[in-house]
Structure 1
Amino acid sequence: MKYTLILGGAGFIGSNLIHEYVKLNRGVISFNREQPDNGNLDGIRDKVVSITGDLGDSELLRRIFREYEIEEVVHLVSSLLPASPFYDYLKEYDEVTIPTMRLMKIMQENSVRKLIFLSSGGTVYGSYKESGYYNEEDPLRPINYYGLSKCNLEEYIRFEGRKGKIDYLILRASNPFGRFQNLYGKQGLVAVILGKYLSNQEVEIWGDGTVARDYIPIGYLCRSIISLSSMNAWNETFNIGSGVGVSVNEIIKTIEDALDIRLKVRYKEARSIDSDRVVLNIDKLKSFIDVEKIDLGKSILDFYKYIRECENDKR
C-alpha cells in the first residue's frame, strides 16, 4: 500500500486531514512528537499508522521511509503562534526548520518527491497593501516570527524544487475553524470565541475589532489540499481562503446571529504583530479546482452543534 506521511497528524488540521484521506481509502501515517488520546481518530484508528517521534530524529525517519511505501509527505509541524517571541523563533529554527531541510534530503535518498507544506496566508504577506488583498505573486513581508518562520521554509522548499530535487505544493491557508479545534487555546478566533461563550467569559479583542481576515471551515481546507494533490498541481503556491474579508467585529456579529446569543466583549490595546487586513485572493485556486461556496454563519453553527454533541456524549 502507498502511504501519505502526515507530520503533525495529531493536531487540529492533521486529524481532519486524516479523516478525509481515510474516506478515500488512502494509506495514512500520522507522525507526531506525542500521540494524544484526544479521541480525534475514534472510529478510524485501526486504519491509521501512528508513529511517535521527533522530526529531528533522522534515523527514525529513514526507517519509516524504508519500511513504508511513502507517496507524499504533508508537513503541518509548527509550535509558533503569531505572538511568539524571538527565542521561540530560534527554538523553532532548531527543532523544525533545520530538521525539515534534513527531511527533504531523506526524501531524496528514498526517491520520494512529493511534499505538501502548509504555510500561513494570514502572516507571510505582512501588512503593506492598503486594500489588504494579497495574491501568490505579492512580496512576502511578515511582521511576526511565525510568518518569518513559514517564509524561511517556503524559500528552502522552492530552492530544492528549482534544483529538481522535489515536487512541492506550498499552501498559504487563511483561518480554518471546526472539528477537533482547541476552544481554550490562544489561536483560532472562532474557536476561542466559542470557548469563551461556553465558559461564560468575556471575549478579549486586540484593538477596535476592525482587523480583517478570511475564515474557512476545516473541511474546505482539507478537501482543497487533497484536490490539489490529486490533480498533480505540483511546484505551485496557492492561497487557500474564502476570498472574503471579515472583521473581528463582523465575526462576533455572525456568531451572535448564528447561535442567537449575545457575547460579552472587551477591547484591549492593539498589537503591533497583527496585520490590519489580510484577505487572500483565490483566483489561482479557482483556476485549478472547483472551490466550495462558504456560508460562514452556517459553518459556525455546524461547528457549535458538533461541540455540544461532544459535550453530551461525555455526560
Structure 2
Amino acid sequence: MKILVTGGAGFIGSNVADGFIRKGHKVVIIDNLSTGLKSNVNRKARFYEVDIRSAVIDKIFEKTKPDILCHHAAQIDVRKSTDDPIFDADVNVIGSLNLLNACVRHKVKKVIFASTGGAIYGEQDYFPADENHPANPLSPYGVTKLTIEKYLHFYRETYGIDFVSLRYANVYGPRQNPYGEAGVVAIFAERLLTDKKAVINGDGTQTRDFVFVDDVVESNLLALNYPKSDIFNIGTGIETDINSIFRLLRKITSSKQRETHVPPKPGEQQRSVLDCSKAERLLKWKPKNSLQKGMAQTVDFFQ
C-alpha cells in the first residue's frame, strides 16, 4: 500500500513511518519541521516539507495518490494550546480538514488518526478509562483531538472514508524531544545523563499510563487492515507516578542526582490510565514492552 504519513519527521510519526517501510509499504511523508527533524525521515520515504494547512497539500495528494492517510502532524503542546487556542485550532482542526478534503478529492480509502487518551477524557470518573468514558477535555489540545474524531465520523458517513482513531496514552521512546514541555521520560533521561537538574512538578504523585513507541507502531500496523471504522485506546492499563519514573531512570543512568520538586503546574491532570481491552479484543493488539525495557532503550538512545 501507499501510505501518506503527516508528522513523519516527528517522534511518533517517524517511528510509525519506519514501521510501514519495514513491512514493504511505500511511504510519503509530510512535515513542516516546526518540531520534527529532517534526520528522522527515512531515506526510503518521499519527503515534502509542507505545512498541513497549505494549499500545496492537494497537489501532493494528486501526485502521490496515497491509499491511506496516517495523520500524526499536530500542535502537541498542551500548555501552548491553553495560551493560544486559536493557533492550536488552526493547526489541529483546520489543518486536518485540509487533509480530509484532499482525501475526498483523491479517493483515499482510510485515515489512521493519532488521537489522545488522557487529554480527551480529562480528570477521570473511573480507572482505567475505556473508550466509553465521558470526554471532558481540560485543554484546547484535547478539544481539537476530540473534534477531529467527530469530523472523521462525518467524513465516514458522508464520503465513505473509513477511519481508525488511536487514542494514545503517554508515548515515550527513542527520538522523543527532551527539550519541550511534553515527554517527561525524555526530559529526565537527557538531564540525568548530562548531570543537569531534573525537576519534578508538585509532589510527583501524579500518574500517567506510559506506552513504548514500538508498541504504538504495532497498533498503526494492525490498523492498516482493520476492516471497520473504530476508536481504540493504546496504552498499558498501568498507572505509574512521576516519582517512580525519576527513580527508575536514575537507576538506569547510574545518576546520583537527588529528587528536586518544584510547585505544581496549574491545571495538570492528577491521574490518567487507559483500559485497552478493546484494542486487544478487536485489533489484536497489546503492549509487549515493559516499562523497564522501554526506559532502558530510551536511555540508550540518548547516550
TM range (shorter): over 0.9
Once residues 193 and 109 of structure 2 are traced to their aligned partners in structure 1, the CA distance between those partners, rounded to angstroms, is: 45
Amino acid in the other structure paired with 1:181:
Q
1:32 is aligned to 31
Once residues 53 and 294 of structure 1 are traced to their aligned partners in structure 2, the CA distance between those partners, rounded to angstroms, is: 34
Once residues 302 and 95 of structure 2 are traced to their aligned partners in structure 1, the CA distance between those partners, rounded to angstroms, is: 36
**1:80 positional shift:** 3.6
CA gap of 1:242–1:269, structure 2 versus 1, over 3 A, is same
Q: Is the 8 A contact 2:113 2:163 kept in 1?
A: yes
State yes or no: 1:303 paired with 2:298. Answer: yes
Which residues in structure 2 correspond to 1:1-315 (within 5 Å)?
Answer: 2-34=1-33, 38-41=38-41, 44-45=42-43, 47-58=44-55, 60-129=56-125, 131-230=126-225, 232-287=226-281, 288-308=283-303
Once residues 188 and 119 of structure 2 are traced to their aligned partners in structure 1, the CA distance between those partners, rounded to angstroms, is: 21
Secondary structure of 2:121's counterpart equals coil
CA gap of 1:37–1:210, structure 2 versus 1, over 3 A, is closer
Cα shift readout 1:33-53 (whole Å, capped 9, x = no counterpart): 139665324xx41x1100121
Task: Answer with 263-272 or 174-183: which moved more.
Answer: 263-272
Cα shift readout 1:206-236 (whole Å, capped 9, x = no counterpart): 2211111111111110111111223x24310
**1:135 positional shift:** 0.4
Once residues 136 and 244 of structure 2 are traced to their aligned partners in structure 1, the CA distance between those partners, rounded to angstroms, is: 26
- What is the aligned-residue identity percentage? 25
Question: So what's the TM-score if we normalise by structure 1?
Answer: 0.89
CA gap of 1:146–1:95, structure 2 versus 1, over 3 A, is closer
Task: Answer with 20-29 or 150-159: which moved more.
Answer: 150-159
Secondary structure of 2:40's counterpart equals coil
Secondary structure of 2:118's counterpart equals coil
Q: What CA RMSD, in Å, does the superposition of the two structures yield over aligned residues? A: 1.9
CA gap of 1:97–1:267, structure 2 versus 1, over 3 A, is same
1:311 is aligned to none
Secondary structure of 1:171's counterpart equals strand
CA gap of 1:37–1:228, structure 2 versus 1, over 3 A, is closer
1:312 is aligned to none
Uncovered stretches (5+) of structure 1, i.e. residues with no partner: 309-315
Once residues 207 and 197 of structure 2 are traced to their aligned partners in structure 1, the CA distance between those partners, rounded to angstroms, is: 20
CA gap of 1:290–1:53, structure 2 versus 1, over 3 A, is closer
Once residues 98 and 33 of structure 1 are traced to their aligned partners in structure 2, the CA distance between those partners, rounded to angstroms, is: 15
Once residues 263 and 159 of structure 1 are traced to their aligned partners in structure 2, the CA distance between those partners, rounded to angstroms, is: 51
CA gap of 1:233–1:282, structure 2 versus 1, over 3 A, is farther
CA gap of 1:189–1:87, structure 2 versus 1, over 3 A, is closer
Amino acid in the other structure paired with 2:219:
S
Secondary structure of 1:5's counterpart equals strand
**1:307 positional shift:** 2.2
Question: So what's the TM-score if we normalise by structure 2?
Answer: 0.92
Once residues 10 and 266 of structure 2 are traced to their aligned partners in structure 1, the CA distance between those partners, rounded to angstroms, is: 28
Once residues 219 and 188 of structure 2 are traced to their aligned partners in structure 1, the CA distance between those partners, rounded to angstroms, is: 26
**1:73 positional shift:** 0.4
**1:202 positional shift:** 1.9
Uncovered stretches (5+) of structure 2, i.e. residues with no partner: none
* Structure 1 stretches of at least 4 aligned residues deviating more than 6 Å after TM superposition: none
Once residues 267 and 25 of structure 2 are traced to their aligned partners in structure 1, the CA distance between those partners, rounded to angstroms, is: 39
Once residues 86 and 295 of structure 1 are traced to their aligned partners in structure 2, the CA distance between those partners, rounded to angstroms, is: 33
Secondary structure of 2:261's counterpart equals strand
Secondary structure of 2:205's counterpart equals coil
Task: Answer with 269-278 or 296-305: which moved more.
Answer: 269-278
Once residues 34 and 53 of structure 1 are traced to their aligned partners in structure 2, the CA distance between those partners, rounded to angstroms, is: 8
Secondary structure of 1:155's counterpart equals helix
Task: Answer with 290-299 or 9-18: which moved more.
Answer: 290-299
Once residues 221 and 113 of structure 1 are traced to their aligned partners in structure 2, the CA distance between those partners, rounded to angstroms, is: 22
